Chains A and B, each alone.
Chain A
């Protein structure tokens, strides 16, 4: 079966890419100056104390040995123990994913809900008032960084109007409602720049398809403007939109680092930032590797979506 063959080839490629990525990540992070033990002990520590901690953490082992230890651990499902926190990295990451995954999912959903209707509407009546609004929105949205939008939201919605909390996360144990409430503003901050890009792409794609022969034919055969749009134009315009959505995932992840910081959310971005500044390398390695994996899996999914969205691609390898 060609589809199965394609899938196995893709997974093989994924594994090799991940392995190369792990090597690059490890070497890059090792090359950064700074030593976890010295940072943890502070500037007053005697050299023998630093040495004692280094050996306790296993930092005195040779480079290759540590790499092999990490890779072997990852393959067997053990991500190692955080140098600074002293707890298993897997648990640490899992706790933080419980914040970041909902955050990015809500943001993605929001951005689709904003940009698809807006883009299609704008394209349907180019240069109309909605189009002007959409182009203003996408220009501002692209130009303004998400953390700044976050600060504005905190000032306006949280402190000014007092509608929502300005930051922090009560935890899922505080109830789903309370937890979701804490994620609303950060999701908006994260979604705005993303939906700005998506709006533009949607608009451009819809306009391009509208000028295609088959749309004109459909209209000539008596299909109404609206039916032609939803039946023929939009499904054909979705391909570049989905591609852009996939390409946006890395930006979403890096955006989450900043937005989590502004809203003091204990997510994976905050963890990565803290771990990097503390040189908790084992945590950084695993988080970056996980980001790599997420980006690659998303690309695979986008690839698979193409065939769902475009029947012409089915059966092609």
Chain B
């Protein structure tokens, strides 16, 4: 894997170079077509607006790409693109990454972006007292060097084929020393929008940053409105208070918008896989036959129908169709209650068994659990449903203390199949072959080898069933007619509005 640094725009893939040309100004990507404003609904209000602190999801859904940018980024198709770095060169041993940084970039407060700032940003993630929830993704970085203002060099402790991808993730956006500490309240980034005001409990108002390196965005103002309740979301959309929502959580209320001329609806794929995790260390779930039998007891297509009004895709392993590495493995253990009963009998549970199903207080989880309970009953397995307050109680009881038999949760991070190789992790899943596969992916020298590794990892999980793979969450978008340029799919949890604009 070798890329020349001198050819500034030669990058990872062909599409990436095209985007680099775009970004370099051959075609302004944020060309101002028409002025205007957009306000969108964000269900969860983040605790802080800095995606490099705490959990990045909710913060990133407001500020990633809009306010903050990274060295690289991930586009709407899940493809890596250059951003504040115009190109990079990876040494043959995969241990050093040399980035060429974009000149003439400045932060909203006027501070200039250069290699010292980039070095500061990355070292801040890695610091001893770092409170970046995703720190582990970058721990492979041993040291950061800034030989000149336009060049940044990363030295790795071992090869990590996913690192570039993670550098495009919200948790690794560039921040500058003068404002880093206060970014949670008053974020200062290099993005096309700057923060005007955060009215806590209500909204975040952003406006176009006229010093943006890519030219002014099409919109003058951008507002994130925090509305948690789906009924209230519908009311806000219908009354015209807001212009859209990227991830509408109540599929049963979605249908009314599909026939409405005032709105356009978009059914995209998200990155969230809903899985019923089992405590693989605890009998009877330590027996792979029991796990397979439970998987065969469930008709996933009907589950999706019942829980998500048919929106969503049944999955057979831990990747969603949004992932570039996705493989359809739902055939591994298809719905077959007779075979499931036979397999249970073989495992010594001819009369079934009883277990506690700890279900987080989330609508999709509660509904899915009830459907699963009925399917399990068909093979004489009794699930006793116990509600677990989410996030507080669930994270403590199930996730940290692994004090559970079976649970159900959506995993939203992309490329997170490696969680099954994490020890400890709440599945308590131990498979040296799987761990080795994950290690091979990290060391993969070519994109093909990396893809091959992810394929093998998915297949191993499909066979071992450490969790019941149920469905991938759809991304249901509702937008006021005339608004275009919004992401339909969700390769990264985000509301990237940098290309959004109004057309007649």
Contact flags (1/0) for A276-292 with B, using CB distance below 8 Å? 01111000000000000
Kindly supply a per-residue 1/0 record for chain A positions 225-242, scoring 1 wherever the CB is within 8 Å of any chain B CB and 0 otherwise. 000000000000000000
* Residues in B129-155 with C-beta less than 8 Å from chain A: 129-137, 139
Binding site for B on A (CB under 8 A): 32-35, 38-46, 49, 52-53, 56, 84-87, 92, 95-96, 151, 154-155, 158-159, 162, 165-169, 171, 261-264, 266-267, 270-271, 274, 277-280
Q: Which of B10-36 contact A (CB under 8 A)?
A: none
Asked if B395 and A85 sit within 8 Å, CB to CB, the answer is no
The reply to whether B238 and A279 contact each other, CB–CB distance below 8 Å, is: no
- Residues on the A chain within 8 Å of B227, using CB: 167-168, 264
Closest-CB distance, A309 to chain B (whole angstroms): 39
For this complex, 15 residue pairs linking A to B, each with C-beta atoms less than 8 Å apart, are: A33-B392, A33-B393, A34-B392, A35-B392, A39-B391, A44-B55, A45-B134, A49-B135, A49-B136, A158-B239, A159-B239, A165-B241, A167-B241, A278-B47, A278-B391
For the complex formed, measure the closest distance between the CB of B71 and the CB atoms of chain A, giving whole angstroms: 20
Contact B199 A264 (CB under 8 A): no
Point out the residue from A35, A85, A154 that lies within 8 Å of B200, measured CB to CB: A85
Q: Which of B371-417 contact A (CB under 8 A)?
A: 389-393, 395-397, 399-400, 413, 416
Using a Cβ cutoff of 8 Å, how many contacts connect chains A and B?
146
CA–CA, A264 to B239, complex, Å? 14
Which residues from B are CB-within-8-Å of A45?
Answer: 55, 133-136
Q: Which residues of A contact B199 (CB under 8 A)?
A: 171, 266
Q: How far is the CA of A147 from the CA of B56 in the complex (A)?
A: 32
Q: Which residue of A lies closest to B55 (CB)?
A: A42
Check B396–A38 contact: CB distance below 8 A.
yes
A19 to B201, CA, bound (A): 30
The docked-state distance in angstroms from the alpha carbon of A169 to that of B129 is 38
Q: How close is B490's CB to chain A, nearest CB, in angstroms?
A: 17
Question: Taking A159-B238, A171-B199, A271-B201 as contacts, is the C-beta distance between A151 and B134 under 8 angstroms?
Answer: no
Q: Are A274 and B201 in contact (CB under 8 A)?
A: yes
- Contact partner of A34 (CB less than 8 A), chosen from B133, B200, B239, B393, is B393
Given contacts A38-B395, A274-B201, contact A46 B55 (CB under 8 A): no
Per the bound structure, the CA–CA distance linking A189 and B393 in Å amounts to 32
Determine if B54 and A264 form an interchain contact, defined as CB atoms under 8 angstroms apart: no
- The docked-state distance in angstroms from the alpha carbon of A123 to that of B184 is 59
A49 in contact with B55 (CB, 8 Å): no
A40 to B392, CA, bound (A): 10
For the complex, give the distance between the alpha carbons of A45 and B185 in Å. Answer: 22
What residues on B are CB-neighbors of A166 within 8 Å?
A: 232, 235-236, 238-239, 241
B393–A44 CB distance below 8 A: no
> Contact: A38 with B400, CB < 8 Å?
yes
Q: Is the CB of A263 within 8 A of B232?
A: yes
How distant is A264 from chain B, measured CB to nearest CB, in Å?
A: 5
| A40–B184 CA distance with the chains assembled, in angstroms | 13
Contacts A168-B241, A266-B202 given; does A42 touch B235 at CB 8 Å: no
> Which 4 pairs of residues, A with B, have the shortest CB-CB distance?
A34-B392, A42-B55, A266-B201, A84-B47
CB neighbours of B390 from chain A (8 A): 277
Question: Which residues of chain B (157-190) have a CB below 8 Å from chain A?
Answer: 184-185
Interchain nearest-CB distance for B122 vs A (Å): 16
Residue ID in chain A nearest B132 by CB atoms: A49
- Determine if B396 and A53 form an interchain contact, defined as CB atoms under 8 angstroms apart: no
Q: Nearest Cβ distance between residue B271 and chain A, in whole angstroms? A: 13
Contact B235 A158 (CB under 8 A): yes
Among A46, A168, A274, contact of B135 (Cβ-Cβ < 8 Å): A46
Q: How far is the CA of A63 from the CA of B227 in the complex (A)?
A: 35
CB neighbours of B397 from chain A (8 A) = 33
Please tell me if B356 contacts chain A, counting CB pairs below 8 Å: no
**Contacts from B to A (Cβ < 8 Å):** 45, 47-48, 54-57, 128-137, 139, 184-185, 199-202, 225-229, 231-232, 235-236, 238-239, 241, 389-393, 395-397, 399-400, 413, 416
Q: A92-B200, A171-B202 are in contact. List 16 more A-B contacts (CB 8 A).
A: A34-B393, A38-B395, A42-B55, A44-B137, A44-B416, A45-B55, A45-B133, A52-B128, A159-B238, A162-B239, A166-B232, A166-B241, A167-B241, A168-B236, A261-B232, A264-B225
B200 touches A266 (CB 8 A): yes
Q: Are B392 and A279 in contact (CB under 8 A)?
A: yes
Shortest CB-to-CB span from B482 to chain A, Å, is: 21
In this complex, the member of A33, A44, A53, A169 whose beta carbon has the largest number of chain B beta carbons within 10 angstroms is: A44
Q: Which of A85, A171, A262 has the most CB of B within 10 A?
A: A85
Q: Which residues of A contact B413 (CB under 8 A)?
A: 44
**Cα–Cα distance between A264 and B390 once the two chains are bound (Å):** 20
- B201/A52 in contact, CB under 8 A: no
A90 to chain B, nearest CB (A): 14
CA distance A235 to B135 in the complex (A): 69
B389→A34 contact, CB < 8 A: yes
Query: Would A41 and B54 count as touching, CB distance under 8 A?
Result: yes
Query: Which chain A positions have C-beta within 8 A of B226?
Result: 264
Nearest Cβ distance between residue A55 and chain B, in whole angstroms? Answer: 8
Q: For the complex formed, measure the closest distance between the CB of B206 and the CB atoms of chain A, giving whole angstroms.
A: 16
Which of A39, A43, A151, A261 is close to B228, meaning CB atoms less than 8 Å apart?
A: A261
Contacts of A56 in B (CB 8 A): 129, 131
Q: Is the CB of A43 within 8 A of B201?
A: no
Residues in A whose Cβ lies below 8 Å from that of B137: 44
Q: How far is the CB of A94 from chain B (nearest CB, A)?
A: 11
Compute how far the CA of A53 lies from the CA of B235 in the bound complex, rounded to whole angstroms. 38
A43, B131: Cβ atoms under 8 Å? no
Query: Contacts of B396 on A, CB cut-off 8 Å?
Result: 33-35, 38
Question: For the complex, what is the distance from the CA of A92 to the CA of B47, rounded to whole Å?
Answer: 13
Partner of B136, one of A32, A44, A95, A262: A44
Whether the pair B134, A44 counts as a contact (CB closer than 8 A) is: yes
Q: How far is the CA of A32 from the CA of B391 in the complex (A)?
A: 12
Residue of A35, A38, A262 most packed against chain B (CB within 10 A):
A38
For A53, the chain B residues whose CB sits under 8 A away are: 54, 131
Closest beta carbon of chain A to B226's beta carbon, Å: 8
- Distance (Å) between the CB of A271 and the closest chain B CB? 6
A158 to B132, CA, bound (A): 43
In the complex, what distance in Å separates the CA atom of A109 from the CA atom of B257? 39
Most B C-beta atoms less than 10 A away, residue of A87, A171, A264: A264
| CA–CA, A87 and B184, complex, Å | 10
Using CB atoms, name the residue of chain B closest to A170: B202
